[in-house]
Chain A
Amino acid sequence: MANSKPKNQNKVGWLMALPASGLIFLFLIVPFLLAFWFSFTNQRLISPNPTEFVGWSNFSSLIGVGTLTVEPEKDAEGKTVIKPNGDIQYPRMRKFTRNNPDYEHLKGMREWFSFPLSNDRKWVVLARDKLFMKALVNTILFVLIVAPLQGAFALLLALMINQKLPGINIFRTIYFMPVVISIVVVSILWRFIYDGENGLLNAMLSFFSFGLFEPVDWLGNSSTALGSIMVMSIWQGVGFHMIIWLSGLQTISGSLYEAAALEGATRWQTFRYVTWPGLKNTAVLIMVVITMQAFALFAQVDVMTRGGPVDSTQTLVFQSVQRGYEKQDIAGGSAIAVVLFLIVLSISLIQRFLTRDRT
């Protein structure tokens, strides 16, 4: 009799968890397993042809790379040709990658990046899917810059609003506001802010520099587009992480601060030896969450730049959606999703390992 009660409660517990776990299974785990399966087939969104198993070919066409060392072009006298702008003239890559039986292994590849070697030679790395490589690099860059900055800003805001001042809730609400507004709406608003001709940002910069500032087409310029999206994303997400930091801050016992004050600790010492150690678990959580969210960068790109200009804002999730849905290549889109999953999984495992309890 004494044993049956917990068992019964267990049953009820499972029963209550059923609707949620059923939905998670149906809409999260099943699609996830399907994506794994699709990435090894030639599955199309629509096609009258049967699906076939194609092995690793979706992956090898994504991550295939080749290298080539090229000599500069020589004129009739054997001298290196110099372009009008002073650069050395190299033969075009399409001479090697298209219809050239001597370089069959480079067929269809595109120049990704290159390093200069001695004697004006150049070492070129070619990618089978340059678009994917660009998306991969952009996504990693986005995570590397956004994760620490967003975490730090969120902590700064949390420390500022964790004071007992009159009206502090107003500030809390203001900082949290961007989080509850749909990301699509935020993206459209920021597109106006970044507008090259009459955007708010250009107008402000021009006002504060007394007209010296030349207007920049922030989203239409391949050197500023990704940075602009980063700034906007940090602003949009910072409020959410601020709230998590805030909850961490409020679990730190007030008596510790009192003790620190009695010992004559400076504000920095209080933060370094009382606040920060107390926030350790929160910090781990925030880093993991921000990293995962940053890897999933999609909506801002879709609304603001659609990957352009010249692929400067391509990301993995955007490519996955574009291939799977717009190009109807479910297999190709799934392969990118699987690669992304493996990256995020391994980074989370590394983060967990580095922040494990060393006791």
Chain B
Amino acid sequence: MKLALNIIIAGAVTLSSGLAMAQTDLSLWYHGAGNEKEKTVLTGIITDFNASQSDWKVNLAEFPQESYNESVVAAALAGKLPDIIDVDGPLMPNWAWSKYLAPLEITDAEVKSLLEGAIGRYDGKIYSIGLWDAAIAMFARKSVLEKHSIRIPTLDKPWSFDEFNKAIATLAADKSFEYPLDLGLAWKGEWYSYAFGPLLQSMGGDLMDPSKSSAEDVLNSDEAIAFGKWWQSLFTNKLVPGTSQDGADRETGFVDGKYALQWNGNWAALGALEKFGDDLLFLPAPDMGNGPKIGASSWQFGVSGSSKNQKGGNDFIRFAMQDKYLAAFSDATGLIPATKTATSMTTNYKEGGPLNVFFDLSKKQATKRVSTPAYNVVTLEFEKALADIANGADVADTLDAAADAINTDLKKNNNYK
């Protein structure tokens, strides 16, 4: 009897493992190695997905963010891309163009509730989907603004360019602060395009015009030169810390009361809230003439072009788009969940939650960075131009040089056709 039972159990085990064998393996690469909270949520989604159907089995491989992009490029050169790839929003067109990514089968109807910043579109197709977005705001203190009788701007009526400059000038006169405004130039790399590109767009310029495949008269247009002159004046008048700002000052300067205003992302919001509580304000971006704008688009999921299991990859991304997972990610990382319905399930973004304002900021002001396969060159040139102008380089010549460098790259790549 016992023997028979054993045989039955053994048979059942073999059968179930046989079932498991029928699942096709899908590899998933993720950029967040080292972040335990993120990993817990992601492995949770993967476990749920693997258990929910019998066709696919997703396996996770994690990489440190600093070397993630290089790992993907190296894998692509070796022809060993995983099935599902995690990609930084603005870099997606480059990977789509180079066929690292395939267009998703997910349709517009399926993503209509998502924040636009979480949808990766290129060439009229959807290539990647984000489970969250990030947003930037002007961190300020109510008491400080009231003391100097500066109007508190709202989403519907943000500061005008004049008001913004006057606010900085007024706060500059308050000697209890080292600087009236901190833009965070200690953060190198993508921060420049993400945080300051929208300010340039708000002034009527941009990084380039993808439809014309040219940066001429866009990055060095009269509007862009006006932006550059304003940018330079911030540094010559010592209104903001320069490119050699200490990283530690960037992290704690606002909380320590060194800076009156700080241009910062929602990821830094909780720390500041802890210190200032109700006194803390997250102000919308100023309208510098062409509408108020902040950056959009964070890390997103796509399916690799070489994957033989396109359907499996798409199924996984669809599965991960459920509100409960968006909420779980938001709770773990502090980032903005990609749908309105998911916000109500989070601690920070629900109605009345401390960071709720960021969802509206994202919805109302978010502007994507220019969508072009040349992005990796465009963003490097923009960063260099802003840093050089901040350090006293001639504005028009520097922007000309950046526009030329971008156009040379476009020409070398046959306009990325």
Contact = CB atoms under 8 A, between A and B. Distances in A.
Interface of A: 42, 44-49, 61, 92-94, 97-98, 108, 110-111, 130, 195-198, 217, 219-220, 222, 306, 308-311, 322, 326-329, 331
Given A306-B188, A309-B243, A328-B376, A93 B404 contact: no
List 7 tightest A-B contacts by C-beta distance, closest first: A220-B244, A309-B391, A46-B98, A310-B391, A310-B393, A310-B388, A327-B377
Nearest to A325: B70
Contacts of A46: 73, 76-77, 94, 98, 100
A308 to B, nearest CB: 6
B409 A327 contact: yes
A246 B140 CA distance: 61
A92 B396 contact: yes
Contacts of B412: 42, 44, 329, 331
A107 to B, nearest CB: 9
Interface string B380-401: 1000100110011100110011
Given A48-B98, A219-B244, 12 more contacts: A47-B98, A61-B408, A94-B400, A108-B408, A110-B397, A220-B242, A220-B243, A308-B243, A309-B243, A309-B387, A310-B388, A327-B409
Nearest to B398: A310
B396 A94 contact: yes
B392 A310 contact: yes
B303 to A, nearest CB: 17
B190 to A, nearest CB: 12
Interface in B360-417: 376-377, 380, 384, 387-388, 391-393, 396-397, 400-401, 404, 408-409, 412-414
Interface string B199-225: 000000000000000000000000000
B62 interface: no
18 contacts: A46-B76, A46-B98, A48-B98, A48-B99, A94-B396, A130-B401, A217-B244, A219-B244, A306-B188, A308-B243, A309-B388, A310-B388, A311-B388, A322-B380, A326-B380, A327-B376, A327-B409, A328-B377
Nearest to B100: A46
B97 interface: yes
Question: Which of B188, B242, B400 is packed against the most chain A CB atoms within 10 Å?
Answer: B400
A110 B397 CA distance: 8
Contacts of A306: 188
A344 B387 CA distance: 32
A309 B393 CA distance: 9
A222 B393 CA distance: 11
Given A197-B246, A220-B244, A328-B377, A49 B413 contact: yes
Question: Which of A46, A94, A327, A329 is packed against the most chain B CB atoms within 10 Å?
Answer: A46
Contacts of A130: 401
B246 A222 contact: no
A196 to B, nearest CB: 6
A94 to B, nearest CB: 6
Contact of A48 (B73, B97, B242): B97
Contacts, number: 74
A214 B1 CA distance: 93
B401 to A, nearest CB: 6
Contact of A94 (B99, B380, B397): B397
Contacts of A322: 380
Contact of A47 (B243, B391, B408, B413): B413
A222 B391 contact: yes
A46 B76 CA distance: 9
Contacts of A42: 412
Nearest to B412: A42
B1 to A, nearest CB: 64
A97 B216 CA distance: 13
A222 to B, nearest CB: 7
A326 B106 CA distance: 32
Contacts of B99: 48
Nearest to B387: A308
A308 B390 CA distance: 11
A225 B387 CA distance: 15
Interface string B81-113: 000000000000010011110000000000000
Contacts of A110: 397, 400-401
Nearest to B383: A306
Nearest to B381: A327
Nearest to A111: B397
Nearest to B389: A310
Contacts of A311: 388
A98 B244 contact: no
B400 A98 contact: yes
Interface string B216-253: 00000000000000000000000000111010000000
A308 B380 contact: no
Given A45-B73, A326-B380, A93 B397 contact: yes
A195 B244 CA distance: 8
Contacts of A49: 413-414
Contacts of B388: 308-311
B235 to A, nearest CB: 11
A219 to B, nearest CB: 6
Contacts of B188: 306
Question: Which of B76, B77, B380, B404 is packed against the most chain A CB atoms within 10 Å?
Answer: B404
A194 to B, nearest CB: 9
Contacts of A94: 396-397, 400
A217 B76 CA distance: 42
A201 to B, nearest CB: 14
Contacts of A197: 246
A262 to B, nearest CB: 60
Contacts of A329: 409, 412
B65 to A, nearest CB: 16
